[in-house]
Amino acid sequence: MVLAMVTGGTSGIGAAFARALANRGDDLVIVARDQARLDETALALRTEYGVEVEIISADLADRADVVRVAARLSDATRPVGLLVNNAGFGVHTSLLAEDTTPHERALDVMVRAVLMLGAAAGRAMRTRGTGSIINVSSVAGFITMGSYSAVKAWVASYSQGLAVELAGSGVRVTTLCPGWVRTEFHSRAGIRESSIPEFLWVDVDELVAACLADAAKGKVMSVPSRRFKFLMFVIKHAPRGGIRWASGRISSSRKD
């Protein structure tokens, strides 16, 4: 059993990680913006699984809040043994939009916060000689769908670089690359779920279980489900022009 921190732990993939970790007996630190949802989630996890749940209300777009969460990761009195850098959201805004605020917020939450929290956790875990970091990227990071793809490409590359720096330290780093997962994420991002073929959907609990198994084995890249492993193989070997064409077709599934 370890103490695990999950960012964005009140919904979607983050909530599934929290449930899976609590189910195996891990105590939790859950980070999210909404205090009411944090309280509700913590109560449900304590009641159902009998684990301790610490909550931190923080907006990871705010650097001061990220510093506060990083300080919790650095606290040696009750060390965090697993960090799941999951907080994020879809970006529907055009790269040509005059208002670039949505893109800037995406960089703050899914790049800067991941970097700062990964660094804090990595330093603390390296000192102890043990620990695990899971950074949630996406299959979208290997195609070309606006700033979301760019952000998730950074997460995938960063995670592999972090794994290189921590090699031999006892600290494992895993990049989770989900595809289409059954959560509220896609409706929030403005994507018509009906436009995505049924066979491409992955169950969120199965996704998390596969990722945790991969992390335990020390795998640096986790792509749950055979169909998405095959899709990733195709993406890596297909001509880039074809990837850009397919990316444009996928982007058409977004709402106007």
Write out the catalytic residue numbers.
148
With b for 16 or more beta-carbon neighbours within 10 A and e for fewer, the 143-180 pattern comes to bbbbbbbbbbbbbbebbeebbeebeeeebbbbbbbbbb
Report CA-CA distances (Å) from 242 to 14, 195, 221, 246.
32, 20, 24, 6
**Segment holding 38, helix H or strand E:** helix 35-49
End-to-end distance of the chain based on CA atoms, in angstroms?
A: 46
Evaluated on CA atoms 248, 251, 255, 256, the torsion sign reads negative
